[in-house]
């Protein structure tokens, strides 16, 4: 699976990234691009779609908090119009395994019915900034 429209730019200016994923969900972000933000050679990129009772229960904030506690992850989390939560994360295998375990666990008050995972190309990480919540404010 490829998320269309992600482009990397490493000159330090503000860049807009976004597109439409294979589920038809539009996404976008504005972040400061920086050459030193490149991830290492063991970087993996994953797209997760979380199904269940995951909206209105603090799930995005839970994911953000987990990503921050793992450290070193880049990407974003957002609600979808279909009632799911969508995540794109870049990190090493250990970091992504920790995140995936947290996604299965879910936040207090949530119910995770399914975690659908897709592997993305490593170059998809180029445009990802520090892990953030999309559309939260």
92 assigned to some structural domain: yes
In a 10 Å sphere around its CB, with 0-12 CB exposed, 13-18 middle and 19+ buried, how is residue 22 labelled? exposed
Tokens of 104: 């299965």
Task: Give me the catalytic one of 60, 74, 108, 111.
Answer: 60
Residue 76 lies inside a defined structural domain of this protein: yes
Q: Confirm whether 60 is a catalytic residue.
A: yes
Residue 100 lies in a domain: yes
Q: How confident is the model at residue 20 (pLDDT cuts 50, 70, 90)?
A: very low
**Using one digit for the tens of pLDDT, what is the confidence trace for 33-70?**
333 334 555 899 999 999 999 999 999 999 999 999 99
Contact assessment for residue 14 and residue 32, using Cβ atoms and an 8 Å cutoff: yes
pLDDT of residue 41: 58
Domain residues for the domain of 82 are 43-133
Exposure class string for 63-87: b at 16+ Cβ within 10 A, else e: bbebbeebebbbbbbbbbeeebbbb
Residue the block writes with tokens 């953030």:
132
∠ Cα 105 70 51 (to 5°): 30
Find the mean pLDDT for residues 74-102: 97
Average pLDDT of span 72-98: 97
Average pLDDT over residues 102-131: 95
Judge contact between 8 and 126, C-beta under 8 A: yes
Q: Is residue 62 part of a domain?
A: yes
E runs forming strands in 1-135: 14-20, 26-32, 44-53, 74-79, 85-91, 111-120, 132-133
Q: What average pLDDT is seen over the chain?
A: 79
Check 21, 46, 74, 79 and give the catalytic one.
79
- If one counts the domains in the chain, the total is 1
Which tops the pLDDT comparison, 51 or 4? 51
Residue 20 lies in a domain: no
Q: Is 33 inside a domain boundary?
A: no
For residue 55, the domain's CATH number is 3.30.70.100
- 2 is known as an active-site residue: no
Q: Which pLDDT belongs to residue 63?
A: 98
């Amino acid at each position: 699976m490829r998320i269309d429209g992600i482009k990397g730019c490493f000159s330090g200016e503000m860049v807009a990234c976004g597109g439409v994923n294979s589920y038809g969900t539009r996404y976008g972000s504005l972040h400061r691009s920086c050459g030193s933000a490149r991830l290492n050679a063991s970087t993996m990129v994953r797209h997760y779609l979380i199904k269940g009772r995951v909206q209105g229960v603090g799930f995005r904030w839970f994911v953000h908090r987990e990503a921050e506690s793992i450290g070193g992850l880049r990407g974003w989390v957002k609600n979808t119009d279909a009632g799911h939560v969508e995540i794109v994360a870049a990190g090493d295998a250990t970091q992504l395994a920790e995140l995936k375990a947290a996604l299965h666990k879910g936040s207090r008050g949530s119910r995770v019915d399914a975690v659908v995972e897709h592997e993305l190309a490593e170059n998809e990480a180029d445009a990802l900034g520090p892990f953030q919540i999309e559309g939260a404010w």
